[in-house]
Amino acid sequence: MLSDIFFQQTASYTKTEQEIIDFICRNPGAFLTASISQLAERLGISDASLSRLAKHAGYRDYKELKAAVTGALSGAGPAEKLQGSLSGDKGGGLDSFLSWQQSCLQKTLELIDREAFEQAAELIASAKRIFLHGKGASRCLAQLLHFRLNRFGKDIFLMPSGGTELFEDINRLRPDDLVICFGFQKLPREDSVLLSCASQNGCRSILFCSRIYAAETSPADISLLIYRGEPEEYHSMAAPMAVIDALVVQVAAAMGQSAVKPLERLHSLKQEYYRTLPG
């Protein structure tokens, strides 16, 4: 994957360098076709900033960095496999698409911060009330997390996607609440407002994201970085769903019997009324 060029480095990048890295990962084609001066002008930085990034990332110069990016894009990577599956070419279809999904899962496994994951599970397990927000396709992820955590007896709320109704729930936030948001390609304005209000109210927050720079500069207390594919290709939902399922299992382990008892009561209810409300 393209971002391996940077994530394999141990250097600590500046804010400007993180922005450059994020642009390169999101727009590899534009990076490869533009000259150093054209790219610098587009990003509103100096040529020297791009040269410094290349050396900071472990390359002799900007030219060698470009060569590395070209190499990272060569071969049958996820984009080529997905394109094949969508076009119906030989080698595409179900096998190719599922193989690409596997690569998204593997990349997520490499990128996600284990400590942040553990902290997120502890926050969810200990939270008295949880507010979830997802917009667009991300709403299905919020709904999945709502369904799973509700079974543990959690006091959990699925917030409106947008509009003035969102403020009704924001107005209910208390210092001991937890806010969970999903902002992959970019952070929705609603989530930006929600995270800001959560911080002002003393709430803790978790953000699921897929951009390097967003994870580094997120206003959330914890950011979980998930790989969903390159910017120009179909974005996987398998990786975020897998992380959510893993998180739910970790939360259950942290909650112990307090998570098991609601499930036992649920099972008893189903057994008692299975003839009245078959299932």
Asked whether residue 82 is assigned to any structural domain, the reply reads no
**pLDDT value at residue 92:** 59
Asked whether residue 239 is assigned to any structural domain, the reply reads yes
Element housing 111 (H / E): helix 93-111
161 and 32 both lie in a single domain: no
114 and 182 both lie in a single domain: yes
Strands (E), the chain: 129-133, 155-158, 177-182, 204-209, 222-225
Q: Which of 140, 95, 119, 128 is nearest to 238 (CA)?
A: 140
68 and 177 both lie in a single domain: no
Asked whether residue 97 is assigned to any structural domain, the reply reads no
203 and 134 both lie in a single domain: yes
The answer to whether the beta carbons of residues 130 and 124 sit under 8 Å apart is: yes
- Say if strands 129-133 and 155-158 run parallel, antiparallel, or are unpaired: parallel
Select the more confidently predicted residue: 77 or 277. 277
Q: How confident is the model at residue 82 (pLDDT cuts 50, 70, 90)?
A: very low
Residue 2 one-letter amino acid: L
- Residue ranges making up the domain that contains 54: 4-73
Asked whether residue 86 is assigned to any structural domain, the reply reads no
Q: Which of 127, 119, 129, 130 is nearest to 221 (CA)?
A: 119
10 and 117 both lie in a single domain: no
- Alpha-carbon distances of 244 from 72, 142, 182, 208, 218, rounded to whole Å: 29, 9, 11, 10, 19
For the chain, the domain total comes to 2
3-state DSSP of 33-53: HCCHHHHHHHHCCCHHHHHHH
Asked whether residue 201 is assigned to any structural domain, the reply reads yes
200 and 115 both lie in a single domain: yes
CATH (domain of 37) = 1.10.10.10
pLDDT tens-digit readout, 14-71 = 888 888 888 887 777 778 778 899 899 999 999 999 999 888 888 888 888 887 777 6
DSSP codes of every residue in 137-197: GGHHHHHHHHHHHHTTT-EEEE--SSSTHHHHHHTT--TTEEEEEE-SSS--HHHHHHHHH
CATH (domain of 188) = 3.40.50.10490
214 and 114 both lie in a single domain: yes
Q: Please, is 38 exposed, middle or buried when counting C-beta atoms within 10 Å of its C-beta (0-12, 13-18, 19+)?
A: exposed
143 and 258 both lie in a single domain: yes
What's the number of CA atoms in the CB half-sphere (13 Å) around residue 91? 9
51 and 139 both lie in a single domain: no
Domain end call among 45, 73, 101: 73
pLDDT tens-digit readout, 176-230 = 999 999 988 778 899 999 999 999 999 999 999 887 656 666 789 999 999 887 7
Domain end call among 17, 44, 73: 73
Integer Cα distance of 159 and 38 in angstroms: 43
Select the more confidently predicted residue: 155 or 7. 155
Percent of the chain with pLDDT over 70: 84
SS3 call for 208: strand
**pLDDT value at residue 81:** 40
115 and 16 both lie in a single domain: no
246 and 129 both lie in a single domain: yes
Integer Cα distance of 234 and 211 in angstroms: 15
Per 3-state DSSP, what percentage of the chain is helix, strand, and coil (rounded to 5)? 60, 10, 30
Spatial neighbors of 170 by CB under 8 A, at least 6 apart, are 159, 193, 194, 197
Q: Please, is 74 exposed, middle or buried when counting C-beta atoms within 10 Å of its C-beta (0-12, 13-18, 19+)?
A: exposed
